Structure 1
Amino acid sequence: MKVLKFGGTSVGSVSSILNLQKIVEKEAKRQPVIVVVSALSGITDQLIATSQLALKGDEGWRLEFDTMVERHHKMIDAIITDPHDREVLFKKVDSLFEQLHSIYYGVFLIHDLSHKTEDTIVSYGERLSSNIVATLIRGAKWFDAREFIKTEEKQGKRSLDSELTNKLVSDTFEDLSRISLVPGFIAQDRESGDITNLGRGGSDYTAAILAASLSAEVLEIWTDVDGFMTADPRVIKGAYTINELSYAEAMELCNFGAKVVYPPTIYPVCVKNIPIKIKNTFNPEGQGTVIKSYVENNQKPIKGISSIKGTTLITVTGLSMVGVVGVNRRIFSSLANNGISVFLVSQAASENNTSIGVKDEDAANAVKVLNEEFRLEIEDGRMFPMYAESGLATVAIVGENMKRTSGISGKLFGALGRSGISIIAIAQGASEMNISFVVKGSDLRKSLNVLHDSFFLSEYKVLNLFICGIGTVGGKLIEQIKSQYEELKLNSNLKLKVVGIASSKNAIFDRDGLNLDNYREELKESEPSTPEHLRDAILNMNIFNSVFVDCTASRDIAALYQSLLENNISVIAANKIAASSAYENYYRLKQTALLRGVKFRFETNVGAGLPIIGTINDLRNSGDKILKIEAVLSGTLNFIFNEIGADIPFSETVRRAKEQGYSEPDPRIDLSGTDVVRKLVILTREAGYKVEQEDVEKHLFVPDDYFQGSVEDFWKRLPALDADFEQRRQKLSNEGKRWRFVATMEYGKTNVALREVSANHPFYNLEGSNNIVLLTTDRYKEYPMQIQGYGAGASVTAAGVFANIMSIANI
């Protein structure tokens, strides 16, 4: 025998109630079933709302009542095809509505709504729906739950009379019909005979009572979801159905916001070791979730994440609490006596304060009650008035395997800390099955996503990217991300989700990820943006695992890094301005990233995709000391001095460097050595020396006055240098030498200069726009370490930025 319970959404529409019919009739062919149904979706709330209108003397109650009548009539017309059955059912339903109308009218006349009357009113939802379903399913026998579900009042609270109820259920269902139909939720007081109920969600409880009393094979709860989810799917797109849960895990998730099962449901069937199966009326073929005593192959440390919005944390504090027996008893007794539920408790080991979590709507009353309870202690200064902080949220991670897995708390706090989420309070039971903590309400979405990702509940790890700059480098980067997206999902379980793209004038954002096929068109149609707007939009999204990628050369964009890092957003910069700016600014950015547990990466600032900065860091981290750096760091200048010849004058090589995308938009930045100076400063700092751009000694090859005026003037004047360069080049060629613009650092002293190198020098055969770096260290003194390769171009720079992104993804 099975017990099947169908919730409000399962009887809320014509299609869902017909699905219910198919499910029940299919199951009844195998074995007897007891079917428990809720009121039509939304009806219980409407019954209560209508009673409040009547209580206020508002004539609007009549309209609400008529709406309920019409909805039930339409349902009957749509699903009951037999004329005789329909007529009989209409009489039953209309009789119930006549009774309900009389009750409402009485409330309207005398302006009084007792608990007894309210309980009677809300009972009509299930009485109506169960009669409709009993008529729809041929052969179903309707039972009145009031005859066997009995309650009693203890200490002002209503509870189930388990002993009497179990006896009456056994007697009632001694001879099981093929299909028994029972209204959920409704009960009756054992003494007075008044209509009572089992509380909101009580239809689940009704079904559990029946299943336990009759030792059912299984209790199936049919609802509008596929089962328990790893997290709220409205918040976490990657949340999925948990196939199996233990009773204890399910109870913890239910108590912390998972609305799949009414919490009291679990206990009666748990005692009898009867499994609970959660199924979806709209997807009956789905696997669903099974709740049972023991879960095999339970590998993951946590099963799910649940949360409670609208949390208020009340702190009870005072020196008089230390070592005093009975303080906590007074706290919880006074709250319980006033009907205030506490769902989280956190106490300092010093005992001088206790924090309790309550719902926002209970906060004011809780503060009032506790201030009154400790009035004398507050008056003489032994305790402080209650402090309440609202607008918070409580998150719980749940799983029986946590008690057998070390480091869960460390991983939890580390993941949240790296995302800039502060924990306000924490509670963990000795069972280690539930770790609960309180955060700001604004951080709830971010917290859930961080934890879902960190504990491998998500199918994929997600990195959320904000890309600024869609020029040559940024455009190539987006192309590379797009082309590698599926490959990374398949082989690395990684989703690179671009959630923001900004050009110099516009910006677009989408938390779920932007379409990389038409982002340029979207940008053109978007609202104008400024660096400040870009920063604010990113911070307001408050999205987890965020990385800001700067593919610009903008000083204003570089100025955003500090704020982004302070808000736990990693920064990857192809832009050299920040790392080569004033040393104090560089140092502060590095320290902020270190303290916040995020990354500030700028590998492509020097050598495009070459692993120069990373190698220097690795050498230093292993205990080596960088003594000297000699490098050709400008792909543009190396291209120019490799191209120059008898038939290609100096001015033409500069023009070719610009046309082929090697130089900066303004080639004077390259020719002035500014770009190389920045790169040398960055390498020197990464090597462990304090240096400013002004400290670099410069020996340039283009007169200073060429760097004045406009770019157009520069291009006009540049050919005037060709004759001198050609004369010098011929002399150099005759000597078997070549020009290289070399950056040098030796024991912290820096200079850049155009040097003549002979054929036996490592720089002599450097081709095209390649870069080369020689590192002399304590370990590499006699034979310096050499790093050489393609050091310019949009594709390799974008690839280097991509490598930085992947280094963060793999942490």
Structure 2
Amino acid sequence: MTTEQLQANAIDEHVDAVTHNQLAKHATQVHKFGGSSLATTQCINRVLDIIRQNCQLNDVVVVSANGDTTDNLFALYQLAKEQRDTALEEQDPRPLEQALNALKQQQELLINDLLNANNARQLTHALKADIEQLTTWLSGNLAAHHNDILAYGELWSARLLSALLNEKVCPSNSIDSRDFLVIDNETHYRVDSAKSAAQLRQRKQFGKLAVITGYICRDEQGHTCTLGRNGSDYSATIVASLVRASNVTLWTDVDGIYSADPRIVPNARKLHRLPNGVAKELGRLGNPVLHAKTLLPLINQTTDHHTHLHVASSFDSEVIGTEIGKFGQIAKQELSVTYLNDLLIAQSECFLGEYCAKACETFSPICSNDKQGFMVINQSQQKALSQWLASHDTEVTFKPVGIIATVGHKVAERGDIKARFKRSLKSTKPLHLVNSDNAHSVIAVLTEPCTTELLNNVHHDMTKDARHIGLVVAGLGNIGQRFLELLPAQLNRVYALENTHLVGLLSSSKALINNDGLDVSQAMTLFEQEAQGYDHEQLLSWLSHHPYDELIVVDITPSEEFSLLYEQFFTQGIHVIGANKWAASSPTAHFNHLKKLSAEHNSLWLGNTTVGAGLPINFAIDDLRQSGDEINQIAGIFSGTLSWLFETYDGSTSFSSLMLDALSQGITEPDPREDLSGRDVQRKLLILARKAGFELSLDDIACQNLVPEPLQGLSTQAFLEQAAALDDFFAQKLQEANEQNACIRYVARLQYDDIAEAKLTAKVSLEVLPATDAFANLTPCDNIFLINSRWYQENPLIIRGPGAGRDVTAGGLHSDLVTICQQLANKQNQVKIKGIN
């Protein structure tokens, strides 16, 4: 978004934003950028692009310190402390001076690389003053200024980003969160929301994008405080709560939250949507991206306002991340595995009965059991817990432990999940198996630290069936409705479809899409009641942000326009099952482009019902080619309609009467010329030819149109009124065939006239065939396919059966669906990790 657009937005907003509560009414998005996202010049420029594309002037940006700046400040503090503790005659000031100078140079490099000369001078001057203050504090009362020293990282980061935004993107001002954010202390981090919100309103400048420091704040006495590890994430959700934001995005170095730490578990899968309570439990139990405090401002709101939290990667902003909020049943089925080591199990009589609740309130243990008298705590809590128990005149024993936990919505209440978790730990023999108080986790207490091998094994056992596949059905005519009628039984019967969810229904003009899934047994009723108008841009926007591991679009439309969306589908990694023939028979260049796109983006494209309805002709050709065979001829009767017409036409009634009878039975298209033109058979032959490895275009296939030229340009109604004009031609053809003891059939043929010279001919036409020919005696509406190959020469391979009908076509679509889901079950997405802080 350009500066002019952002300023225009600000002007529009000013019409309504004239009250004192302006910020609370209009700040709708909070974007937080982590240290790794701001570490280098290149990273910061990526952040600028994200802000251009995603932010409005009424939004808020929260920043961490650039890269390792906070770690470097802490190292400075430690150096100064060590120097002070060293005897005067042994002190060497050089390490501290060198570290301070290195930190200064690091900041100057970012300033000079990113800003113009004038702005760089201003920030360098401010940096110089800060370094002088740092030097004073490092040589003075260190303990009094510990947090003030650490605060400089966020201060410099916000100041630099704000200056850069002013220079290149939009008006901006940086805000030191210590000027508005007030907490009670660094133990409980309780926010004074009323005071903090009022002070933030005073500092937020209208028409400027606010850049706020994360991690730091003040207590009620005015002392600088920090919010602990991942404190900038916590700052972002606090700010979101203060301004009643609709969304918070944590831009970090991974593209979401995974079912296990992806650095340790290569097969970890992204959790696209997490309920609030589950995300909080994951953070509490060691997830490397989330921290439990981050979610508190969003979960503990007392109003009806709800903020959704997103985790996304600033290194690849187009990749869909993880959303945390309120969701339906599909999101609640997600499972993950996490672990913590360096813990202690504390055993004491004081943890029995009601006293255990008091201890838990004070120490918030990882888990506890008031019947067996134990709790699991962090090692850092040992001293405080010992002192607390001493005051109760109670003895305690401590023993090192680790934990591994399975986490998901109310998993402690799901017997099947608990049983599976127990089975996955059968070789480990945990000390205890404990349900969390909120029932969102089952925790195994281990006598030894949790190993990489154990984590991977348990993760595999718990999440192997957890991939969620979204299903969108486009085209709700006879076949589409029959596909949906069969779907409930298929989902229950076929194991490969266990985690497949119907999430979208599309007609040519209306759509019903629900991320939480549609009741398959009520699909058409729900569509009729709730579907809304849509356009392709809206559809593509939703599909590009779907919350599933995989998405499959089943195209049962006859629409060429819809088939043109395949390019965008494949670009987004969406899989397609197509009964629609347009894409598979499109011009060669376009078809090859689609095949290339689907391969590049790992999108599966199946279209077995484009030819032969549910007959396995596509499977057979694929199998022959994959087995090393070479096909040299494909022939057959590919149209169920033309099969019925010519199997039934015996001269006892006119051809036009027969055709009108077929129309009334629904055997032909509403305009029978679509069948008689041969175009449908021509496209089917092209599709099979391409499947067999021949590079043809539609123009390479000669097509005999059975509709006389004078009838071709008429309206449908006029054609039907003049259909008798067809009769003489077909009567003559039938008579010629009868004189030869033969029959007439509309046949598709692709074959080599000369294999040695690779001379290929392809045509669809009306042929006179001997009565003994394989194509001569079919059940009306049947299709027949003949294949000659290196393996099938003297005795060709023949596949015959119903080539049309709602049941067989819907069944063929279900066959493709099962095939895709079976392939996706073994698919592994590579996790790209830039480094988790």
The alignment's TM-score, normalised by the length of structure 1, stands at 0.52
CA separation in 2, counterparts of 1:486 and 1:609? 21
Residue number in structure 1 paired with 2:97: none
| Residue number among 485, 488, 492 corresponding to 1:482 in the alignment | 488
Aligned pair 1:662/2:667, yes or no? yes
The CA deviation at 1:527 is 1.9
Verify the 8 A CA contact 1:649 1:722 in the aligned structure 2: yes
| Residue number among 627, 633, 649 corresponding to 1:622 in the alignment | 627
Mapping of residues 712-723 of structure 1, within 5 Å: 712-723=717-728
Residue number in structure 2 paired with 1:801: 813
Mapping of residues 453-468 of structure 1, within 5 Å: 457=463, 459=465, 462-468=468-474
Residues 664 and 201 of structure 1: is their aligned pair in 2 closer, same or farther, counting only changes over 3 Å? farther
The CA deviation at 1:666 is 2.9
CA separation in 2, counterparts of 1:246 and 1:477? 38
Aligned pair 1:513/2:536, yes or no? no
Aligned pair 1:497/2:501, yes or no? yes
Residue number in structure 2 paired with 1:93: none
Verify the 8 A CA contact 2:679 2:703 in the aligned structure 1: no
The CA deviation at 1:613 is 1.6
| Residue number among 444, 451, 462 corresponding to 1:290 in the alignment | 444
Verify the 8 A CA contact 1:477 1:798 in the aligned structure 2: yes
Residue number in structure 1 paired with 2:777: 765
Residues 55 and 705 of structure 1: is their aligned pair in 2 closer, same or farther, counting only changes over 3 Å? closer
Letter of the structure 2 residue corresponding to residue 504 of structure 1? S
Aligned pair 1:214/2:391, yes or no? no
Verify the 8 A CA contact 1:738 1:764 in the aligned structure 2: yes
CA separation in 2, counterparts of 1:730 and 1:683? 33
| Residue number among 578, 586, 593 corresponding to 1:581 in the alignment | 586
1:27-58 deviation per Cα after TM superposition (whole angstroms, max 9, x unaligned): xxxxxxxxxxxxxxx99999754668789999
Residue number in structure 1 paired with 2:800: 788
Give me the identity figure in percent. Answer: 26
Which secondary structure does the structure 2 equivalent of 1:482 belong to?
helix
Verify the 8 A CA contact 2:585 2:698 in the aligned structure 1: yes
Verify the 8 A CA contact 1:507 1:527 in the aligned structure 2: yes
The CA deviation at 1:240 is 4.7
1:276-309 deviation per Cα after TM superposition (whole angstroms, max 9, x unaligned): 54324477xx9943222379xxxxxxx9xxxxxx
Residue number in structure 2 paired with 1:470: 476
| Residue number among 553, 561, 573 corresponding to 1:556 in the alignment | 561
The CA deviation at 1:720 is 2.3
Aligned pair 1:228/2:232, yes or no? no
CA separation in 1, counterparts of 2:387 and 2:416? 27
| Residue number among 567, 581, 585 corresponding to 2:572 in the alignment | 567
The CA deviation at 1:496 is 3.1
CA separation in 2, counterparts of 1:652 and 1:502? 37
CA separation in 2, counterparts of 1:789 and 1:545? 33
The CA deviation at 1:455 is 7.0
Higher RCO (C-alpha 8 Å, min separation 6): 2
Verify the 8 A CA contact 1:612 1:787 in the aligned structure 2: yes
CA separation in 1, counterparts of 2:383 and 2:527? 51
CA separation in 2, counterparts of 1:713 and 1:560? 34
Which secondary structure does the structure 2 equivalent of 1:742 belong to?
strand
Letter of the structure 2 residue corresponding to residue 469 of structure 1? G
Residues 456 and 114 of structure 1: is their aligned pair in 2 closer, same or farther, counting only changes over 3 Å? closer
Residue number in structure 2 paired with 1:278: 434
Residues 244 and 555 of structure 1: is their aligned pair in 2 closer, same or farther, counting only changes over 3 Å? same
Verify the 8 A CA contact 1:220 1:279 in the aligned structure 2: no
Residue number in structure 1 paired with 2:691: 686
Letter of the structure 2 residue corresponding to residue 746 of structure 1? Q
Equivalences, count? 478
Residues 780 and 219 of structure 1: is their aligned pair in 2 closer, same or farther, counting only changes over 3 Å? closer
CA separation in 2, counterparts of 1:739 and 1:522? 48
1:630-660 deviation per Cα after TM superposition (whole angstroms, max 9, x unaligned): 1111111010111223443212322233333
CA separation in 2, counterparts of 1:693 and 1:287? 59
Structure 1: tracts of 5 or more residues without a match? 1-41, 59-106, 119-165, 188-197, 222-226, 251-272, 296-302, 304-397, 406-432, 434-451
Residues 586 and 230 of structure 1: is their aligned pair in 2 closer, same or farther, counting only changes over 3 Å? farther
| Residue number among 741, 766, 773 corresponding to 1:736 in the alignment | 741
The CA deviation at 1:400 is 2.3
Letter of the structure 2 residue corresponding to residue 470 of structure 1? L
Residues 239 and 505 of structure 1: is their aligned pair in 2 closer, same or farther, counting only changes over 3 Å? farther
Mapping of residues 524-539 of structure 1, within 5 Å: 524=528, 525-539=530-544
Residues 402 and 200 of structure 1: is their aligned pair in 2 closer, same or farther, counting only changes over 3 Å? closer
Residues 213 and 736 of structure 1: is their aligned pair in 2 closer, same or farther, counting only changes over 3 Å? farther
Letter of the structure 1 residue corresponding to residue 445 of structure 2? I
Residue number in structure 2 paired with 1:751: 763
CA separation in 1, counterparts of 2:469 and 2:662? 36
Letter of the structure 2 residue corresponding to residue 516 of structure 1? V
The CA deviation at 1:703 is 1.2
CA separation in 2, counterparts of 1:55 and 1:666? 71
Q: Which has the larger radius of gyration?
A: 1
Which secondary structure does the structure 2 equivalent of 1:691 belong to?
coil
Mapping of residues 316-355 of structure 1, within 5 Å: none
Letter of the structure 2 residue corresponding to residue 496 of structure 1? T
The CA deviation at 1:487 is 1.6
CA separation in 2, counterparts of 1:213 and 1:782? 91
CA separation in 1, counterparts of 2:692 and 2:721? 41
CA separation in 2, counterparts of 1:210 and 1:698? 92
Verify the 8 A CA contact 1:629 1:775 in the aligned structure 2: yes
CA separation in 2, counterparts of 1:723 and 1:281? 85
Provide the alpha-carbon RMSD of the alignment.
4.7
Residue number in structure 2 paired with 1:387: none
| Residue number among 542, 545, 569 corresponding to 2:550 in the alignment | 545
CA separation in 2, counterparts of 1:774 and 1:689? 16
Residues 656 and 458 of structure 1: is their aligned pair in 2 closer, same or farther, counting only changes over 3 Å? farther
Aligned pair 1:673/2:726, yes or no? no
Residues 745 and 727 of structure 1: is their aligned pair in 2 closer, same or farther, counting only changes over 3 Å? closer
Residues 735 and 518 of structure 1: is their aligned pair in 2 closer, same or farther, counting only changes over 3 Å? same
CA separation in 1, counterparts of 2:441 and 2:189? 36
1:521-550 deviation per Cα after TM superposition (whole angstroms, max 9, x unaligned): 433432211233222222222422211110
The CA deviation at 1:610 is 0.9
Residue number in structure 2 paired with 1:308: none
Verify the 8 A CA contact 1:664 1:670 in the aligned structure 2: yes
Residues 713 and 52 of structure 1: is their aligned pair in 2 closer, same or farther, counting only changes over 3 Å? closer
Residues 684 and 213 of structure 1: is their aligned pair in 2 closer, same or farther, counting only changes over 3 Å? farther
Which secondary structure does the structure 2 equivalent of 1:603 belong to?
coil
CA separation in 1, counterparts of 2:651 and 2:601? 56
Letter of the structure 1 residue corresponding to residue 795 of structure 2? Y
Residues 771 and 205 of structure 1: is their aligned pair in 2 closer, same or farther, counting only changes over 3 Å? farther
Residues 292 and 689 of structure 1: is their aligned pair in 2 closer, same or farther, counting only changes over 3 Å? same
Residues 627 and 179 of structure 1: is their aligned pair in 2 closer, same or farther, counting only changes over 3 Å? closer
Which secondary structure does the structure 2 equivalent of 1:517 belong to?
helix
Residues 287 and 593 of structure 1: is their aligned pair in 2 closer, same or farther, counting only changes over 3 Å? closer
The CA deviation at 1:680 is 0.8
